[in-house]
Amino acid sequence: MPRPEEELIAVLQKNGVDLTASLPCEKIKILLEMVGRTFTHLPLTREEEGVGICAGAALAGKRPALFVQSSGIGNMINALLSLTQFYELPLAIFVSRRGVYQEKIEAQFPMGRKLPGMLAGAGIAFSEINSREELPLVEQGLSRVYSTNSIHAFLMSPAVWEGSECRGTGTGDRGQGAACSSESGKDKSAAIKSPTTRPIRPAARLCAERWASFVMI
């Protein structure tokens, strides 16, 4: 049976995700290591930087996915609404949801708990993934991202990864589980392209390109 990290990566590959970007989070450090080995991947320093990069990738015909911590949504909400949502660009956001499950840092509670209400108020679709058994919800939402050019946030509880046997390949990781890897490699991530992908409107493309250039300055 695939481990949860492998299961999620398989869903990303099945839906043709071919560019990923992320900020670090301790709760998904193994997942991020695997994502970096499997896809064209860009480490970020700010969340809104990722929004601009993913917008540019979408304009170039890519299928981007962004990995952030729940607290980072607050940093990127303006860019999401005024760039990605306004110009109808596709973006899948995988959110490591802190403050909801065995959280030791109290400062993570406010954002983690209020995140669904914030996204609903912003008109951003989201799914709450609270256990490994709910991972199939990811595929349901992900297929709509690229067929309708929309944003969808997947709020991933740390409980999803609980009990996983995956461990990192770095020398600093001394876990006892088996190292996980994707056998299909990076070139497989772009193998599947849905024929129902919605084209981006020319006027929106021009405006979004200018906006994305401004974000990256």
- Helix H, strand E, coil C: the string for 168-185 is CCCCCCCCCCCECCCCCC
Task: Give 60-110 pLDDT, tens digit per residue.
Answer: 999 999 999 998 998 999 999 999 999 999 999 999 988 677 767 777 777
Q: What is the CATH number of the domain that holds 32?
A: 3.40.50.970
Token pair recorded at residue 89: 């660009």
**Number of domains present in the structure of the chain:** 1
Given strand 125-129, what is the order of strands in its sheet? 41-43, 19-22, 64-69, 91-96, 151-156, 125-129
Average predicted confidence (pLDDT) for the chain: 82
Task: Give 43-59 pLDDT, tens digit per residue.
Answer: 999 999 999 999 999 99
Task: Give 125-140 pLDDT, tens digit per residue.
Answer: 999 999 999 999 999 9
Percent of the chain with pLDDT over 70: 75
* Domain ranges, residue 106: 4-216
